[in-house]
């Protein structure tokens, strides 16, 4: 009885999340909208969707694996609303590690038909705060992309300069090229 009530509550929670995200995701799929002018053009040139994570086959409970695999499938199929909902459910399960889940929630917010870069930054900051892990450098790059998307050139420059100074390997060449192309040098 308790299990069916919990399942019902999770389903209601998932449906509410999907509904809330759905009404915010209008617009055409495909090209990401970015600020107009030079920053928008640079964003279009440098932004790439991060590849989907692998599904899990072992570890955790059946429900945790199912949740993660649903999130991965949604992400891989371009259903970023569904991916966000499932990743948030995985975050509550604490499997896989929070940094992984937070990273993919952040990217998913950038991939919505109406991107949410401010929300994405919140998730990337959680990854960056840990200062380690597989997604640390990638989160730094995508955080800079969020600021570029919003036309915040000075913030973009600050984060890219940090990546350059700290010799991040992720997108190293792109960091240098983008820094040289930012307006207002």
pLDDT over threshold 60, residue 40: yes
| CA dist., res. 181 & res. 155, Å (int) | 15
- What is the per-residue pLDDT for 185? 60
Instruction: Return the CATH fold of 10-181.
Output: 1.25.40
Q: What is the mean pLDDT of the chain?
A: 84
Render pLDDT for 125-146 as a digit per residue (tens, 0 to 9): 999 998 888 999 999 999 999 9
Q: Name the residue with higher pLDDT: 148 or 7.
A: 148
- Using pLDDT thresholds of 50, 70 and 90, give the confidence band for residue 45: very high
Helices (H), the chain: 2-24, 38-46, 62-76, 80-93, 98-111, 117-129, 136-149, 153-165, 172-181
Say how far residue 74 (Cα) sits from the centre of its chain: 13
């Amino acid at each position: 009885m308790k299990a069916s009530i919990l399942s019902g509550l999770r389903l209601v929670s998932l449906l509410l999340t999907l509904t809330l995200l759905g009404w915010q995701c209008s617009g055409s799929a495909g090209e990401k909208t970015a600020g107009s002018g030079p920053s928008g053009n640079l964003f279009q040139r440098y932004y790439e969707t991060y590849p989907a994570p692998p599904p899990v086959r072992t570890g955790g409970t059946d429900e945790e694996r199912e949740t993660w695999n649903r999130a991965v499938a949604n992400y891989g199929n371009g259903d970023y609303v569904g991916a966000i909902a499932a990743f948030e459910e995985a975050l509550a399960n604490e499997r896989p590690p929070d940094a992984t889940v937070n990273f993919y929630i952040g990217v998913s917010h950038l991939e919505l038909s109406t991107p949410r870069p401010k929300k994405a930054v919140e998730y990337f900051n959680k990854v960056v705060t840990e200062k380690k892990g597989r997604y640390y450098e990638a989160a730094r790059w995508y955080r800079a992309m969020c600021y570029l998307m919003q036309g915040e050139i000075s913030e973009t420059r600050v984060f890219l300069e940090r990546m350059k100074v700290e010799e991040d390997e992720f997108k190293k060449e792109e960091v240098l090229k983008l820094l040289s192309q930012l307006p207002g040098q």
